[in-house]
Chain A
Amino acid sequence: MRACLGLAAVVWSALALGGCVSVSAPDKPIVIELNINIKQEVIYRLAADAGNTIDENAEIF
């Protein structure tokens, strides 16, 4: 009987907790999330190479 009550309590609290969790859809584009992960040191390392790439492909830049 006590075990039964304990089980019921666990199930109830789990349900209550479940009710508290709110899931909301992300309102920001994922692209910006990716940009945050780009480190400045990487950008500085690539800068000269990217500059040459723009010069070499001037018709699309």
Chain B
Amino acid sequence: MNMPVNRTKLRRVALSAAAVALAIGGVAGIAYAQRDPAYDAARKAGQIGEKMDGYLGTVGSASPDIARMVKDLNIKRRAVYAEKAQAASATLEEYAFTSGCLAIARTAPGEKYQAPDGSWQTRTGAPPIRDPRCP
């Protein structure tokens, strides 16, 4: 008589534990993927833009803090590109350029990106001006 009750209780505990684990995992995943608020704000303000070569650039005269942030992020990007390029049997420049194509395509309206002529453009609702080789 007691056995089925215990089993049901056990099942409930196991299920809620699984739900809690999933919730924690989900929150941690989102937190990891988010941009630093200062970086996000500088992008939205048009102080940082996406370059064609796959790296970030400062638009206009940037403060030392923003210049340092860009340098730091570019070092991290370069490390990721180098690892992934090797895995894909491509050069660092090829992988970085491809990522640049995609990063420019993913800019939000109002953010800055570099056009093929080297000029900084502000992203609008229309597709960005990209290198003709971009996918």
Contact = CB atoms under 8 A, between A and B. Distances in A.
Interface string B92-108: 01110111011100100
B94 A38 contact: yes
Nearest to A37: B93
Majority-rule SS of B interface residues: helix
Contacts, number: 73
Contacts of B132: 40
Contacts of B99: 50, 53-54
Contact of A35 (B53, B81, B95, B103): B53
Contacts of A49: 84, 88
Contacts of B77: 57, 60-61
Determine the interface band of chain B, counting residues with CB < 8 A from chain A: 20 to 34
Contact of B133 (A34, A38, A53, A57): A38
Interface string A36-54: 0011101111110111011
Interface of B: 32-36, 52-53, 73, 76-77, 80-81, 84, 88, 90, 93-95, 97-99, 101-103, 106, 118, 131-135
12 contacts: A35-B53, A38-B133, A40-B133, A42-B94, A43-B94, A46-B88, A46-B98, A57-B76, A57-B77, A60-B73, A60-B80, A61-B77
